[in-house]
Amino acid sequence: MIEAKEIDFSLYERNPGELIPLLQLVQRESGFLSDESMKRIARFTGVPLSKVYGVATFYSQFRFKPKGEKHIMMCRGTACHVKGAPRIQQEIENHLGIKEGETSDDMKFSLENVACIGACSLAPVVMVNEDVEAKLSPERIKKLFGKSEKKK
């Protein structure tokens, strides 16, 4: 991860159509969109800051808080739903002590719901960083994320 202010924008032409690709670039390189980086994108593209926020908050991909070392994307697609995703999610939330959209205090885990990963034939699935974990059961959650970090 690199600091948002150090990300190279030189390949971009400063036009408003580049707003979403720039937001994606900053998030990819620095993990999330900080207030500072939003201001920098606004200045660079000439798009008002209010609109930069308007666009960024519209899309579920964008995140305004840093994610954990292990970023868990819980698939909430139809196939996963009928094969028990709600139960898996409950188990993850219980096990890690965080809810959907949150990052654990020690920054080890963050949990996010996503529409559909597209690995439906292996449902239910989660993505942990870049890896897909397939055919989950509540039992496997503990193995997957190790001992609970949650304080009782």
Partner 1 sequence: MMELSDLVKLANNEWDDLLNGDDPVLLVGNATCGRSAGSGIVFRTLKNRINESGIKCKLHEVGCIGMCYLEPIVAVYTPGNPLLFFSGVHEKEAAELFESYVIKKEKAQGKVIGFLGEGDSDGHKHLGDITVMRPQERLVLNNCGLIDPTSLNHYIANKGYSGLNKSLGLEPQQVIDNIKASGLRGRGGAGFPTWRKWQFARDKDSDIKYLVCNADEGDPGAFMNRSLIEGDPHSLIEGMIIAAYAIGASTGYIYCRAEYPLALERLRLAIKQAEEEGLLGKNILESGFDFRLKVKEGAGAFVCGEETALIASIEGDRGMPRPRPPFPAVAGLWGKPTIINNVETLASVSRIFQNSPEWFSRFGTEKSKGTKTFALVGKVKNSGLIEVPLGTSMREIIFDIGGGVENDKQFKAVQTGGPSGGCLPAELIDLPVDYESLADAGTIMGSGGLVVMDENTCMVDVARYFLDFAHKESCGECAPCRLGTKQMLDILTDITEGRGSMEDLKLLEDLGKGIMKGSLCGLGQTAPNPVLTTLRYFRDEYIEHIRDKKCRAKVCKELIYYDIIAEKCTGCHLCFKVCPVSAISGDPKEIHVIDQELCIKCGMCLEKCPDKFNAIEVYAGSKNHG
Q: What gap in Å lies between CA 63 and CA 73, rounded to an integer?
A: 13
Ramachandran angles phi, psi of 115, nearest 5°: -60, -60
CB 148 within 8 A of CB 97: yes
Q: Is 122 in the site for partner 1 (CB under 8 A)?
A: yes
Q: How far is the CB of 6 from partner 1 (least distance, A)?
A: 22
Side chain identity at residue 145, one-letter code? F
Give the residue, chosen from 23, 88, 96, 98, that forms a contact with partner 1 under the rule CB under 8 A: 23
Q: What gap in Å lies between CA 38 and CA 92, rounded to an integer?
A: 32
Query: 3-state class of 79 per DSSP?
Result: helix
Residues 36-55 close enough to bind partner 1 by CB under 8 A: 47, 54-55
Give the residue, chosen from 5, 43, 48, 61, that forms a contact with partner 1 under the rule CB under 8 A: 61
Residues within the interface to partner 1 (CB under 8 A): 16-21, 23-24, 47, 54-55, 58-62, 76-83, 87, 90, 94, 114-123, 125, 130, 132-134, 138-139
